[in-house]
Structure 1
Amino acid sequence: MRNIALTMHQFDNDVKSQTTKDNMRLVALEGWWQGNIPYGYKRERVPVGEKTRDGKRKERLTLVPDTADGLSEKVRKFLERFSKGDINQAELAQYAESIGLKSSAGGMFAPQSVKNMLTNISYAGFVCNKMTDFEPVQGMHAGIISLETFNRNQAILEGRKPDSSTPRFSADYPLKHALLCANCSKPISGSAPTTGSGSRSPRYHCVRCKGTGSKSLERTEELFEAFLNMVTPTDSTIKLFREIVRRTASKKLKDVNTELNDLRSQVSKLDEDIQKALQAFLDNEISKDEKEDYQGNLRMKRIELEGSIDKLEDAQRLNEATIDYVCNFIDAPARMWRDADPLTKIEFQKMVTESGIVFDIKNENFGTTGLSPFYRLKDNKKDPSKADESLMVIPRGIEPLLPG
């Protein structure tokens, strides 16, 4: 009898342990934070769900930039500086010192600390840990740097040309955060199970619900493109978008030109000071060590200024032709999505749907209440985001298949 009781007790513990792990996994897949706080962030608790009888609500942990003493901004500069590809990790540690970025211990960054920060995708707004099977999941927190910058840094660390390839988690399943399960309204997942022949079969499915089926990657993206053909921006959106882009571009270019002139003047002054240091050394006014220390500090400042100039010159290239191109493409969402690279697809999906579109995997239907205020169905004049009930539509031009 005692053995039976012990067995039941162990079974109960195992069940509780597995339940805890499952809950932690679900929390991670939703993008909430668990674990140590990355340097440059601080924790923030966010109430979720309905209040219980005692008036309390569940809380989830997320990350927010730690702006104390400009820490998060310094971390951003630190990570973006490496993405230029012209300095090594030891020089990056020196750069951190020059902008006042200290390690969490208050000293200079150790080589391993530098690498840990460069390879931490949390800084790009993602969660990636044991609970996500080490697959990056879009986090609830804002990134300090862009995903593009993170990818450039990984390419540099691996000795590849930056932007030479797109990471698998983005390229293979661009829709997995844009489509919601029709049963649980949570984001669907993507995976590639092995078929009977031993080959991989990339598919979209819901990991939380049973009986909702799965759909091949090709079929799902074919359906989504057809759905986008049924979507159009409102007339007011096109008009407002064009005007906003023009006004913003005009003001931005004016500000950019002013700032560029100032930065270029600062670079010229640094070059003059570098030459003066050389001349002072030749005239025996300073020692070789003094010259090298002084010139080294000036060159670090110059590198930082060059990075700022490069960004401003990119912004300066915005012109009327670019504006027209963008405005024309906003009116053709299906074409824009089809022709985009995987990362651009993900960003464009955020324009079309703010919180995700419901997708009935079995019946190949899409909901419409998730559309952003900028888009609507071509035959639906009412703003779908304000409808009382979600519509379910079958994309036109696609012959429905049997479920599966």
Structure 2
Amino acid sequence: MSTAVLYIRVSTDEQAIKGYSQRSQKERLIKFCQLHNVEILDIIFEDYSAKNFKRPAWSAMMVRIKRNKLFHPDQILFTTWDRFSRNIGDAYYMIAQLERLNVRPQATEQELDFAIPENKIILAVYLASSQAENERRSISIRQGIKKARQEGHWTSNAPFGYSRQFSTTGKKSVVIKEPEASYVKSAFGLLAEGGANTKSVYDKLKFLGMECSISHFWRIIKNPFYCGLVAVPGSVDEKPHLADGIHQGLVSKLLFYKVQDILDSRKHRTFISPKKETLLFRGFLYCPICNSKLTGIASKGKSKHYYYYHCRSKCGFRVRAERINDLLFLELAKLTADKPYADLYKKVLKTIREEFFEEQSVTQRSFSVSIDKLIGRVLKANELLLKGEIEAEDFRLIRNDCEKSISLIGLEMDRVTSAMKENENSLNKSVLDFSYPGRLLDKLELPDKIKLLTLMLVDRIVASSEPKIEDITNDTVRLIYNLSSLKISAKISYENRVKNDDFNLVSRICNLEFEKETAIDDDLAIKVGDFLENYAKLTIKVLS
């Protein structure tokens, strides 16, 4: 009489999709053993995928066969070959391992005699069919997930601060869950202020009652789901991207990306060499002798390096970088924006940051609603206590939980209120940074300094001992900063002026110049509008 172990495997999705049953497999295998006079040594049940052999029950069985001399079956029986494996390579490797142990795998409903070479071809068909089915199902699942993500649906477990909810029609959705959502809002708000590091923000929120690990907290503050976006996985012909989600975000996109910029700047903070900072105008300066573009060099002195703008041509011109820089900075310091443009710039800046201001207003309203709900919950619990429907201990737990949440929301309301007041102050500072560009230039990091200079300067500046502001700045800057040397005359009809309150930047600029009795064409007005918007984006980086 031969001996056998019955291996019964079914994965959760197979039970749901195809109705596979462990009981059914067991009955068929036992019946086969009775008909063929096979002694059953053990019955192994597995609830795991067959994409590989890293399965708990299978691994334990193999260890037992290798180590226990009293447990050595002649066969491992299963109903069909897809119960054994859905991967051709893994299947042949496992069959070879079993043969070395003198154990023969066999499917009772797809019996094969391995002594017949042609049967190995049939085995390959069985295994290939199972693997193809598995891969096709995997592709279908991935496509379904991608399609759902493209439509804004969240296909994974509800993130921290949200919970799953079923509608009356049975559809799943994610909804905001308190107090976790307030912790997330506080995290982004505190990080956006820039003063506190990530660990200190995490410790503060954990002290207030947030329950998550530091690694989970890092995943939270990097997850675009919280600003209303859903990550769509990539494919062969498409890169991963973000889609607008149908769920309600906890923070604005502006706030989320501001936090990402702060986190990235801390992660990738690099030392800027004195050479790069000292040779700031390299790329703008040209030789006064041969008109070639100047490069930068460093010359080693007794105690330090000295930097020069240097011409590579035969003329050999060079000039101390520090001297030219000081002359150019002195000229830029003379710029003072025309007041009408300063007022227009403030409107542009507010428009760009409108989403952020709206986020703060919505947050204030949501905080008030949340506090009202928590107070109502305490009052309701007190009413139930008086009626004797809940115990005093239950009431204390409810009250303490609500008081903790109210305390957290109160702290967050104070922070947001302070931030809103500070925002108005920072706007006024930003207008000063626009009116006097030298102020902003001092505050910016090196890459942004170069961006600002590119916005303001002409392409070619002759390295002169007496540079003039009118010669080094472009038409846009000369118009905005009211340099007397700029004379523009162009015909413009009264009908082209702005006759309504719509914020059309180009029309506003044309209208502004018309009122100054200076007419400009649309091309220059567009350049001025672009300048104002790009300048505002640089200013936002240094708002404090």
Give the shorter-chain TM-score range: 0.3 to 0.5
- Bigger Rg, which one: 2
Q: TM-score, normalised by structure 2?
A: 0.31
Q: TM-score, normalised by structure 1?
A: 0.38
Which of the two has greater helix per residue? 2
Higher relative contact order structure (alpha carbons within 8 Å, sequence separation ≥ 6):
1
